[in-house]
């Protein structure tokens, strides 16, 4: 049995920042893996949990962190020292998560990653890359020569969706919320400000929309999709409510389809392995901002305000 203590960020009240506490090492059951965490994602889903605004919420006190990377300390499945990423099976939602120096995850939530992989990349690429890939290839199902509008095009999911759509041979128009983000839209895409979204700025109606921001941007972007086109909805960083004029919606005839990593993650694991290799080699670009555990509040603020460029990760060392 592994004993000792380690630090964890503990959420005691929704809406208040977690506190750093030293606690006994978490104990694992037979179908669980104990890991020493090297890096953990600070993601929008984690912010929803901190705020108490999500369909699955933990009882408090609770350690947040829905995605992490670390080395195996004890497991019946994985040899000690294996570098792994963990997400799913309730991690950081219905059971303590990865914002800690040690964490326990269900064995089915543990996926080995190649030795030497950057832990900050391993902890935060999967949801972004998996959802971008599913939106481009499964839901919007882009074909060569089609035109696609991608919102949040300088964000983590959006910048990967732009790169994958370009690689599929699509013409890409990337939408950003603020001027400063234009420079972060991947090369090869045309950048447009969300405030300027119009037929004049975009040209002919697009074949598909991949939306990562929701809010007031989504209805404006939907109007620019051709009848019979497709719209894939991944996220809502600019707002989680949508008001639709149903007469206009029927007239436009554009299906709005959700992309959920909660239901797609298992099927996307092999694709995830490939995308991890491509990001690690620089073939695909995913910027990552890194903060130490004691700088969580800065990390949260960067993500919440949309100031962060790409993914936000917390490193434990």
Ligand X SMILES: NC(=O)c1ccc[n+]([C@@H]2O[C@H](COP(=O)([O-])OP(=O)(O)OC[C@H]3O[C@@H](n4cnc5c(N)ncnc54)[C@H](OP(=O)(O)O)[C@@H]3O)[C@@H](O)[C@H]2O)c1
Binding site for ligand X (CB under 6 A): 44-45, 127-128, 131, 152, 154-158, 176-178, 181, 212-213, 234-238, 259-261, 303, 306, 308
Find the shortest distance in angstroms from Cβ 132 to ligand X.
8
Could you give the CA distance from residue 42 to residue 128 in angstroms, rounded to a whole number? 12
Find the shortest distance in angstroms from Cβ 299 to ligand X.
12
Could you give the CA distance from residue 99 to residue 38 in angstroms, rounded to a whole number? 10
Find the shortest distance in angstroms from Cβ 315 to ligand X.
18
Find the shortest distance in angstroms from Cβ 283 to ligand X.
19
Of 170, 166, 194, the C-alpha closest to 181 is 194
If the CB atoms of residues 25 and 265 are measured against ligand X, the closer one turns out to be 265
If the CB atoms of residues 205 and 306 are measured against ligand X, the closer one turns out to be 306
If the CB atoms of residues 19 and 240 are measured against ligand X, the closer one turns out to be 240
Q: Under 8 Å CB-to-CB from 292, ≥6 apart: which residues?
A: 314, 315, 316
Find the shortest distance in angstroms from Cβ 32 to ligand X.
24
Q: Which two tokens stand for residue 218?
A: 């989504």
If the CB atoms of residues 9 and 156 are measured against ligand X, the closer one turns out to be 156
Could you give the CA distance from residue 307 to residue 184 in angstroms, rounded to a whole number? 12
Long-range contacts of 202-205 (CB under 8 A, 24+ apart): 202/149, 202/173, 203/147, 204/147, 205/229
Place of tokens 């901190």: 50
If the CB atoms of residues 25 and 129 are measured against ligand X, the closer one turns out to be 129
DSSP 8-state secondary structure symbol assigned to residue 11: B
Question: Measuring CA to CA, how many Å separate 24 from each of 34, 35, 81, 164, 230?
Answer: 13, 14, 21, 44, 50
If the CB atoms of residues 178 and 274 are measured against ligand X, the closer one turns out to be 178
Find the shortest distance in angstroms from Cβ 143 to ligand X.
23
């Amino acid at each position: 049995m592994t004993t000792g203590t380690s630090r964890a960020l503990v959420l005691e009240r929704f809406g208040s920042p977690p506190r750093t506490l030293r606690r006994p090492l978490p104990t694992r059951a037979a179908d669980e893996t104990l890991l020493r965490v090297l890096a953990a994602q600070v993601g929008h889903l984690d912010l929803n949990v901190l705020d108490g605004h999500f369909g699955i919420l933990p009882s408090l006190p609770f350690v947040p962190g829905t995605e992490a990377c670390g080395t195996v300390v004890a497991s019946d499945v994985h040899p000690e020292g294996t570098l792994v990423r963990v997400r799913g099976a309730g991690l950081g939602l219905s059971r303590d998560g990865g914002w800690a120096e040690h964490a326990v995850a269900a064995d089915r939530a543990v996926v080995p990653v190649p030795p030497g992989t950057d832990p900050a990349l391993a902890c935060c690429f999967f949801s972004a890359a998996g959802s971008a890939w599913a939106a481009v290839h499964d839901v919007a199902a882009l074909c060569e020569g089609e035109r696609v509008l991608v919102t949040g095009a300088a964000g983590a999911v959006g910048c990967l969706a732009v790169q994958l759509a370009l690689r599929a041979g699509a013409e890409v128009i990337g939408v950003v919320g603020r001027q400063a983000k234009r420079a972060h839209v991947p090369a090869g895409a045309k950048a447009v400000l969300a405030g300027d979204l119009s037929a004049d700025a975009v040209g002919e109606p697009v074949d598909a929309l991949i939306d990562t921001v929701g809010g007031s941007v989504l209805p404006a972007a939907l109007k620019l999709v051709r009848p019979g086109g497709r719209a894939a909805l991944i996220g809502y960083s600019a707002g989680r409510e949508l008001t639709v004029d149903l007469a206009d919606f029927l007239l436009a005839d554009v299906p709005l389809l959700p992309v959920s990593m909660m239901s797609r993650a298992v099927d996307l694991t092999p694709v995830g392995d490939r995308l991890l290799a491509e990001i690690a080699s620089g073939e695909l670009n995913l910027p990552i901002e890194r903060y130490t555990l004691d700088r969580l509040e800065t990390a949260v603020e960067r993500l919440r305000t949309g100031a962060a460029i790409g993914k936000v990760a917390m490193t434990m060392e």
